[in-house]
Amino acid sequence: MKRVLGLAAVLGLGAILAGCSGGMGMFGDRDALVAVPTTCTPKRFEVYFAEGEARLTPAAREAIGMTAAQLQGCDIRAVQVLGLADASGGSSANQSLSERRAVAVAEALQGAGWPTPAFDVTAVGDEGAVTAEGTQEPMRRRTEVLVEAMPPR
């Protein structure tokens, strides 16, 4: 008996699903219900560097290239690039290093075709690179990128 009820349930489900295949089933027009997702949305990503370096690594170039490809054809309205450094070295050297990191990332994104006027490039050096416990934050060897992207007009 269970097997017969199971088969009946499957047949009933098949009838319901059959109504969806024609576009005008019991739920209406599929195109009115399903929208194509857009990749033109705000993005945030980070680019990491080796200690004391401002040169883009292969992984950094890959992250930049992937994001540039995802947003190709989008309206890039603003790009904030923030360079950071850890606490190794002097404060002025770390400020210079974080500035060079931010510029390297911004230049790579501009080279990928992103609009130059959209960029806001800043650096904070080693500010905040030491925790309250006095330990250094090596994860600060990076550049943070925030992109405001919208679908094309």
- SS3 string, the chain, reads CHHHHHHHHHHHHHHHHHHHHCCEECCEEHHHHCCCCCCCCCEEEEEECCCCCCCCCHHHHHHHHHHHHHCCCCEEEEEEEEECCCCCCCHHHHHHHHHHHHHHHHHHHHHCCCCHHHEEEEECCCCCCECCCCCECHHHCEEEEEEEEECCC
Distance, CA of 88 to CA of 56 (rounded, Å): 19
Handedness of CA 83, 92, 100, 117 (dihedral sign): positive
Domain count, the chain: 2
Query: Domain for residue 38, yes or no?
Result: no
Query: Domain for residue 92, yes or no?
Result: yes
Give the model's pLDDT for residue 10: 45
Q: What is the mean pLDDT for each group of 10 consecutive residues in the chain (153 residues)? A: 47 49 58 67 92 94 92 93 89 94 96 90 83 69 93 88
Distance, CA of 80 to CA of 71 (rounded, Å): 15
Does residue 71 share a domain with residue 108? Answer: yes
Give the model's pLDDT for residue 8: 45
Does residue 62 share a domain with residue 13? Answer: no
- Give the structural domain span for 119: 43-150
Give the model's pLDDT for residue 135: 67
Give the model's pLDDT for residue 131: 63
Does residue 49 share a domain with residue 98? Answer: yes
Give the model's pLDDT for residue 78: 95
